[in-house]
Structure 1
Amino acid sequence: MAELKSISVPTTPFDDQKPGTSGLRKKVKVFQQNHYTENFVQSIFNALGCKVKNSVIVVGGDGRYYLKEAISHIIKIAAANQVSKLIIGQNGIISTPAVSSLIRSNKTTGGIVLTASHNPGGINNDFGIKYNCENGGPAPDNVTNEIFELSKKIKEFKYVPDLKTCGLIETIGVTTFKVDGRDFVVEVIDSVENYVNLMKDIFDFGKIKKLVNQPFNILIDSMHGVTGRYVERIFVEELGADVNKNVTHTETLEDFGGEHPDPNLTYAKSLVDKVKADTSYDLGAAFDGDGDRNMILGKNAFFVTPSDSLAVIANNLECIPYFKKNGVKGFARSMPTAGAVDRVAQKLGKEFFETPTGWKYFGNLMDAERLSLCGEESFGTGSDHIREKDGIWAVLAWLQIIEHKNMSVEEILNEHWCQYGRNFFTRYDYEECEGKGANDMMATLESMLTSSGFVGREFSSLGKTYKVKVGDNFSYVDPIDKSVAKNQGLRVLFEDGSRLVFRLSGTGSSGATVRLYVDSYEQSNFKNDAQDILKPLVNIALEMSQLQKFTGRDAPTVIT
């Protein structure tokens, strides 16, 4: 075995490598700049400090354009930084939930996840890199802040230029290199097996298989993202679904087939249209590029909001074997998410948490055994089986509940609303706005919300009047480590329980995405049309924020 030598490569810092809500996301061509990817990866290893020596790191991503090139850089940098072993998915592909599972089951130092999640892929679109810690979850703020600070003053990165990576990750197996007198191991694994075994431990596959093979018809859409191979292994091979009728878009493509891999009513329109047109389908589901988000549809494309999905699962955990065995601790949701799960927690006597947006805020609560189930309105649902949201897990949870209750998706929701009332919820996304206008809007709005006369003001539209109870910029004190997250979104809480939330998203790769969240609770009028119920509040939000004036936008890019 020939011995390889590492070198130090001089470099200069970039000033734009601050991770967002979940990692660093930029256009592919930004990552392709000379030393851009290498600088950020080296900054991750520098942030690990002494933990990097002899560490074991999981590496994988969602199959988007630039994945293999990035992995090649990671391998050569890891070898030079005295990493002991990399565990890499075959062809570099692992879903984000599966990365979390691998980190936890192998007790590794952490993982590097190569994804821009639900953002478009391809040479002219997005790529992303994020670091997950040893608990399997996204790095907390103190770690990502340290990575950013180090990236601003980096002077060199370590590299093994003669380590040949061509073809290395295409075949399952173990390859050992001798680097600077040390063994460096690259283990290429079946990216699906570990995750499938975890799902089989959580759910009763026998019962779900009987459901799927009865006259209960499903359509699962991978949107040409990473979940294709997971869907084929779980739903087709394990549960007996028809590969031609029950699953679609399962081939993972570098550009996601030219589509936007975001499972919502706008970007998963082909699924919505098919389930609506073919009344034989009882359940439709879609996943995003890296497999952590999900959308649930019932017959005739009956849409289940993520907030309702979380609440329904919370109210029916007793039928899932994992929770029968481990018990149910607390529930949590991100601040912008509608408050449907709050009432479930109250009725069941479970601890409840409201956190900032970002899955990393749930991790401490799970590690402290105070949280079992959590979710975000951005189509993310998950439990403490891993430390990421998990799209396939959510669909399996719904199938387990449907089998147990012997009810349709719509019947389950109607039963839930009769018991708890309904949170009508919508989100307006204004994507790629000009940054200055968006920031000016938020600053002006915050000044109004926090002024002395704002609480008690009344706002009216379409015959409805709402009185302000609270106006603030949401902050969060972590109950476990007492860390503080500030400036997490502007909130207007009205006396009737309705809410408006305004945020600038941290998941985009360019420009600014303004998000408006509208939440209205109705105890008895739960069968009314959501847009009719929410229209007065939407009008008030647009007037209050002067959104069109500041952004020039007269309509959102996406309405959820």
Structure 2
Amino acid sequence: MTLTSVQTAPFMDQKPGTSGLRKKTRVFMEDHYLENFVQAIFEGIGGVKGKTLVVGGDGRFYNDRATEIIVRMAAANGAAKVVAGQNGLLSTPAASHLIRSLKTDGGIILSASHNPGGIDEDFGIKFNMPNGGPAPENVTNAIFEVTKSITSYKMYQGGTVDLGAVGYSALGDMQVEIVDPVTAYVDLMQSLFDFAAIKKMISEGTDIRFDAMNAITGPYASAIIEDLLGAQKGSVVHGTPLPDFGGMHPDPNPTWAHELMDEMMGEAAPAFGCASDGDGDRNMIVGPKCYVSPSDSLAVIAANATVAPGYAQGLKGVARSMPTSAAVDRVADALGLECYETPTGWKFFGNLMDDGRVSLCGEESFGTGSDHVREKDGVWAVLMWLNIMAHTGKSVPELMQDHWAKFGRNYYSRHDFEAIESDKADAMIANLRSKLSDLSGQSFEDLVVETADDYSYLDPVDGSTSAHQGVRVVFKGGARFVVRLSGTGTSGATLRLYVEKLDLKNFDQDPQTALADVIAVAHKIVQIEQFSGRSTPDVIT
């Protein structure tokens, strides 16, 4: 058994995005590629000598091999201990919980979230801080700087890393603990929600369909929903995590979770439908013939969260990403809660939660969570909805109708134009920014522009500024659209168009119909077709 120093050369494409470094799996499998970035993480955080780290991922192709490489490199770099999920598996929220509960020095999470998996699909890696949340920009920038000048990395050769056996072992001077990936997380959920009330509701006939999309939450959902809450076996479908997600695109939205949507919109729909994504941090909620938008889900949870024991003392405040609809703002105003608007990216919520300003956060991209961890959490959101249903005795459609009657309905939709050539996408955004100052006061059919800006965020906790976080165009009366380029893909650029309009009277329109005028004006102002050649989006949520 020897500690070796392996000579290498920089890869110039290792700049982390909002969710770490994501590339095609074959790129990570290239000689030295993963190792370079892991060494850069270690050096970028000031070294790992004497530190304890959590390691695990969503089980996609190369997850197991990458986990072993990270464990060996941690030993070679002098880490005191690594805690890894059995077989290299950990959902992102479960990893965040372990980092926090074990008071470690951070963790490395292997995931490309909702992106497809397989040798020809996507892979990702990110560092989470001791608070359990994604590394902020100053840390990811430090990591990137190391990647540009790295000349060697350290690797521990020899010995055995048995990821399949729960328990303790050693690799050189470093202790390795392999933990069941589910147990600690299940215990946390039981401390937050009224399992007895939910179990009673299920026993009285509330049937559930949880689509795990052959991804990481299958074992978590089976342990909680079927084993502990008593839902019948088979309530969790696609429950076995597979390296290629069974060929599924593990993104819980109406387009990709189409089997669930077909069932929930059918005549024999279960009482409650839900889905989660590749690494378990996203969710979709569906009732019988009633799709709940992520923005509405956040608002309903905010309005009812205190029915869950873990939140009975009330919420400290709420936060949403800027592109998310203002539905939760109306709830916060009614409850007298502070409501924060942040850029997209959970790390911004982490600052607010660590400072004790908010308990509940949400993004329109199917991410909802609370201060129990520092990541969004798909299974948590599902249990919150079940707790609300158990406490109120109301179905998903009834909860939505009651909510809209009280607060109005923020009709909302996101249109994704995927894999646009990056230069064309950049030119489109540059052109839009160039004409923002002239948009105010212009009329487009019945819509008059009130304000238009390039969103910049001043963090109230650390004073940092994040500029160019999305272009906003707001019309008189409150309708608006937002445009931004997503940082979660691996090919080209994804243009996201978000459209929103508040209606205080009519709650039963199809969102695409209700928003048709805003969508048309957005296409005209942004010039989507002229720059991208696309007239229709790839995904509508």
| TM-score, normalisation: structure 2 | 0.99
Equivalent in the alignment of 1:376: 363
Quote the offset at 1:280 in angstroms: 4.5
* CA offsets 1:364-398 (integer angstroms, 9 cap, x no match): 11001000001000000000010000000001000
Equivalent in the alignment of 1:471: 452
Distance 1:347 1:19 in 2: 39
Q: 1:156 aligns with which of 152, 162, 166?
A: 152
Distance 1:38 1:500 in 2: 42
Quote the offset at 1:278 in angstroms: 4.7
Q: 1:552 aligns with which of 524, 533, 536?
A: 533
Alpha-carbon contact 1:217-1:281 (below 8 Å) kept: yes
Alpha-carbon contact 1:6-1:159 (below 8 Å) kept: yes
* CA offsets 1:508-530 (integer angstroms, 9 cap, x no match): 01210111000111111222221
Distance 1:330 1:112 in 2: 29
Distance 1:476 1:45 in 2: 29
Matching of residues 104-143 of structure 1 within 5 Å? 104-143=100-139
Distance 2:384 2:219 in 1: 19
* CA offsets 1:271-318 (integer angstroms, 9 cap, x no match): 111222252511100000000000000013x10000000000000112
Quote the offset at 1:177 in angstroms: 2.6
Q: 2:284 aligns with which of 268, 290, 295?
A: 295
Distance 2:345 2:170 in 1: 37
Equivalent in the alignment of 1:204: 194
Residue aligned with 1:46, SS: helix
Q: 1:44 aligns with which of 35, 41, 57?
A: 41
Distance 1:214 1:495 in 2: 48
Is 1:195–2:185 an aligned residue pair?
yes
Runs of 4+ in 1 over 3 A off after TM superposition: none
Quote the offset at 1:457 in angstroms: 1.0
Equivalent in the alignment of 2:244: 255
Distance 1:67 1:229 in 2: 17
Count of aligned pairs: 541
Distance 1:499 1:554 in 2: 20
Equivalent in the alignment of 2:473: 492
Paired letter, 1:314: A
From the superposition, tell whether residues 389 and 515 of structure 1 become closer, same or farther in structure 2 (CA, over 3 Å): same
Equivalent in the alignment of 2:56: 60
Equivalent in the alignment of 2:167: 173
- Aligned identity (percent) is 53
Equivalent in the alignment of 1:28: 25
Q: 1:537 aligns with which of 495, 498, 518?
A: 518
Equivalent in the alignment of 1:286: 275
* CA offsets 1:74-96 (integer angstroms, 9 cap, x no match): 01111111111110011001100
Paired letter, 2:480: R
Quote the offset at 1:164 in angstroms: 3.3
Distance 1:84 1:99 in 2: 18
Unaligned runs of 5+ in 1: none
Distance 2:2 2:509 in 1: 68
* CA offsets 1:424-476 (integer angstroms, 9 cap, x no match): 00111011111111000000011111x2x32111112xxxx111121111110
Quote the offset at 1:161 in angstroms: 2.1
Residue aligned with 2:398, SS: helix
Alpha-carbon contact 2:263-2:269 (below 8 Å) kept: no
Alpha-carbon contact 1:31-1:37 (below 8 Å) kept: yes
Is 1:333–2:320 an aligned residue pair?
yes
Distance 2:374 2:444 in 1: 41
Equivalent in the alignment of 2:98: 102
Is 1:230–2:220 an aligned residue pair?
yes
Alpha-carbon contact 2:160-2:171 (below 8 Å) kept: no
Distance 1:277 1:532 in 2: 22
Alpha-carbon contact 1:262-1:287 (below 8 Å) kept: yes
Quote the offset at 1:493 in angstroms: 1.2
Distance 2:352 2:415 in 1: 29
Paired letter, 2:199: K
Equivalent in the alignment of 1:323: 311
Residue aligned with 1:291, SS: coil
Matching of residues 267-282 of structure 1 within 5 Å? 267-282=256-271
From the superposition, tell whether residues 361 and 194 of structure 1 become closer, same or farther in structure 2 (CA, over 3 Å): same
Distance 2:477 2:9 in 1: 54
Q: 2:295 aligns with which of 307, 324, 327?
A: 307
* CA offsets 1:144-169 (integer angstroms, 9 cap, x no match): 1111111111111111122433xx10
Residue aligned with 1:316, SS: helix
Matching of residues 387-406 of structure 1 within 5 Å? 387-406=374-393
Alpha-carbon contact 1:217-1:280 (below 8 Å) kept: no
Q: 2:85 aligns with which of 85, 89, 110?
A: 89
Equivalent in the alignment of 2:439: 454
Distance 2:347 2:369 in 1: 12
Paired letter, 1:349: G
Distance 2:269 2:261 in 1: 13
Equivalent in the alignment of 1:17: 14
| TM-score, normalisation: structure 1 | 0.95
Distance 2:45 2:17 in 1: 19
Residue aligned with 1:191, SS: coil
